[in-house]
Chain A
Amino acid sequence: MVRTFGPFVPVVLVWWVIAEAEVFPPDLFVGPGTVLAEFRELIAKGILPAYLSDSFTRLWTGVLFGLLIGIPAGFIVAMSRWARRLTWPLLLFFQAIADIAWLPIVIVWFGFSLTAVTFVIVYTIVFPLMISIVSGVEEVPKDLVQAARSLGAGRFRVFTDVIVPGALPAVATGIRTGLGYGWRALIAAEIIVGTSGIGFMMFDARRAGVVTGVFVGMIVLGILWYALDALILAPFERGTIERWGMVRTAEVGR
């Protein structure tokens, strides 16, 4: 508890002091008390839960398709010299087009719909994921592959039993980065495509000139990412690559 919430105490304190001292005009910069009250009200009215569930539906749809496309595609490009040669320039090219840069054309194609948002999330997840997988496969120690071969494994078994688990640290990093990008893309998409969701809520509050709603949105985003990391990503890594001793724990900051 202390480790999780401790670091936030001084931040909230500073926030509170700045708000109380009215360094900025109160209608532009609200304090923790106001935000908490608004938070309660939004939950009571059912707006926050509804928007949250909308955002989550979009995120999961996008993430699911992103992983379903990105993981196999990443391994195909990593394993096949030809696929790599053909697609690598494309990968770099498309990765360079920011997710939000796709929004105008996506809205033209799909309208203000779930499909549009999903497209953008899938897009932002697939490329970093593929690139991490390719470098992860390259980093699988050569002697592990040789060991497997000299223990009787054919190419398929080398792939399933050595390459895939060997590349897992990189896949985990890729998923983490991809999810982070996807999460940001979602908020951006909701702000622009916006009919509901956390991003829309923030944008809507801004339009109405109520900064409290914007503050609530920002805090919710932070909490959600933290929860996603603590509840899903971190346990996954603890159960796999950390358990296998494949993570070099940094000496700095121990």
Chain B
Amino acid sequence: MSTLEISHLRMEYVDAYTDETVTAVGDVSFTIEEGEFVAVLGPSGCGKTTILNIVAGFQKQTSGTVRVGGKDVTGPSPERGVVFQSFALFPWKTVLGNVVFGLRMRGVPRRDREPIAQRYLELVGLDGFERKFPHELSGGMQQRLGVARVLANEPAVMLMDEPFASVDAQTRRKLQEDLTAIFEANHPTVFFVTHDIEEAVFLADRVVVLSTRPSRVKEVVTVPLERPRHWRDALESSDYRRTVTYITDMLAGDESRAIPADLDTT
């Protein structure tokens, strides 16, 4: 039994302005095994965030099933913690308070909460910042807090919705390295949504490539990179470059239909 099983997922909604039925997610099926890092990759507006929202329990699918640990998803739950693009940290709670929150909600005994929170803050390199408020941290640190907050809850799967899209390019590289290090140390199960091909290949064990809307799974690409991973090694690795090129071509094929043939051949 896989940790996460998505089968024939379909999502339609009625556009409030035009009154037309829009199919955001066409027919999506894939699985994530325990301790696996899977990136869901697709062009903007392909419905990948919608899939994440359904897995998170924030939205209800039109049809198809989403199972986590063999049980149907019916709503939000701490077994499916979410790392948001906007960070979504609680501004009125300290760094420690943000991590402790989930433990408190799950009924972890008071005396155990701080040591556990502390451990995860160390994991993401935020020890020493416990008493700070989120707005006092840099964007990169805020998102690492977002990761610590979810991991402290020991979710069955950590859902990450383009978590590094709102930080600058240098910080993003650093955060991607940090995340692989965290993943390699802790082996959570990760569902990572992104539109960045290089990010997906660098981070993931497998990349689920989606087509444009209504999204379908074009292919699930297994990334042939060893762990631990580092950007330096990846950029020099022909496996990395070949995989990126392969996916780039696959996605370009989607768009080339709109491009005149004589331009496409260059």
Mark A residues whose CB is within 8 Å of B: 141, 143-144, 146-154, 157, 161-162, 165-166, 168, 240, 243-246
How many A-B residue pairs have C-beta atoms within 8 angstroms? Tell me.
73
A155 to chain B, nearest CB (A): 11
- Listed residue (A147, A149, A244) with the most chain B CB atoms within 10 angstroms of its CB: A147
Q: A146-B88, A244-B91 are in contact. Are A151 and B58 (CB under 8 A)?
A: no
Give chain B interface residues in 98-119, CB to chain A under 8 Å: 101-102, 105-106
Nearest 6 Cβ contacts at the A-B interface:
A245-B135, A152-B105, A152-B78, A149-B76, A151-B102, A143-B88
Could you say which of A141, A146, A168 contacts B92, with CB atoms under 8 Å apart?
A168
Complex contact A165–B105 (CB within 8 A): no
| Interface-lining segment among B79-87, B173-181, B201-209, B210-218 | B79-87
Q: A146-B58, A147-B82, A168-B92 are in contact. Are A244 and B133 (CB under 8 A)?
A: yes
Q: A157-B105, A161-B101, A245-B136 are in contact. Are A150 and B76 (CB under 8 A)?
A: yes
Give chain A residues whose Cβ lies under 8 Å from the Cβ of B89. 147
Q: A144-B90, A245-B91 are in contact. Are A150 and B82 (CB under 8 A)?
A: yes
Complex contact B101–A244 (CB within 8 A): no
Q: A146-B76, A161-B101 are in contact. Are A151 and B88 (CB under 8 A)?
A: no
- Listed residue (B77, B88, B134, B153) with the most chain A CB atoms within 10 angstroms of its CB: B88
Measured CA separation A244–B88 after assembly (Å): 14
Give chain A residues whose Cβ lies under 8 Å from the Cβ of B136. 245
Q: Is B144 an interface residue, CB under 8 A from the partner?
A: no
Interface of B is mostly: loop
Measured CA separation A153–B105 after assembly (Å): 6
Give chain B interface residues in 110-166, CB to chain A under 8 Å: 133-136, 149-150, 153, 159
Q: Is B188 an interface residue, CB under 8 A from the partner?
A: no
Could you say which of B81, B86, B92, B133 contacts A150, with CB atoms under 8 Å apart?
B81
Give chain B residues whose Cβ lies under 8 Å from the Cβ of A168. 92
Q: Is B35 an interface residue, CB under 8 A from the partner?
A: no
Complex contact A165–B102 (CB within 8 A): no
A33 to chain B, nearest CB (A): 50
Measured CA separation A146–B59 after assembly (Å): 11
B60 to chain A, nearest CB (A): 14
Give chain A residues whose Cβ lies under 8 Å from the Cβ of B251. none
Q: Closest B-chain residue to A166, C-beta based?
A: B92
Complex contact A150–B105 (CB within 8 A): no
Complex contact A152–B102 (CB within 8 A): yes
Could you say which of A144, A146, A148, A162 contacts B56, with CB atoms under 8 Å apart?
A146
Give chain A residues whose Cβ lies under 8 Å from the Cβ of B106. 152
Measured CA separation A143–B149 after assembly (Å): 15
Complex contact A151–B133 (CB within 8 A): no
Q: Closest A-chain residue to B75, C-beta based?
A: A149
Could you say which of A152, A162, A165, A244 contacts B153, with CB atoms under 8 Å apart?
A152
Could you say which of A146, A162, A243 contacts B90, with CB atoms under 8 Å apart?
A162
Complex contact B77–A150 (CB within 8 A): yes
Measured CA separation A157–B88 after assembly (Å): 16
Complex contact B101–A240 (CB within 8 A): no
Complex contact B88–A147 (CB within 8 A): yes
Q: A143-B84, A245-B135 are in contact. Are A151 and B105 (CB under 8 A)?
A: yes
Complex contact B81–A244 (CB within 8 A): no
What sequence of 0s and 1s flags, for each residue 234-259 of chain B, a beta carbon within 8 Å of any chain A beta carbon?
A: 00000000000000000000000000
B87 to chain A, nearest CB (A): 8
Measured CA separation A162–B153 after assembly (Å): 18
Measured CA separation A162–B88 after assembly (Å): 11
A237 to chain B, nearest CB (A): 13
B54 to chain A, nearest CB (A): 13
Residue contacts A-B, CB under 8 angstroms, 25 given? A143-B86, A143-B88, A146-B56, A146-B76, A147-B82, A147-B88, A147-B89, A148-B101, A149-B76, A150-B57, A150-B76, A150-B81, A150-B82, A151-B78, A151-B101, A151-B102, A151-B105, A152-B77, A152-B78, A152-B106, A157-B105, A165-B92, A166-B92, A240-B92, A244-B135
Give chain B residues whose Cβ lies under 8 Å from the Cβ of A144. 88, 90
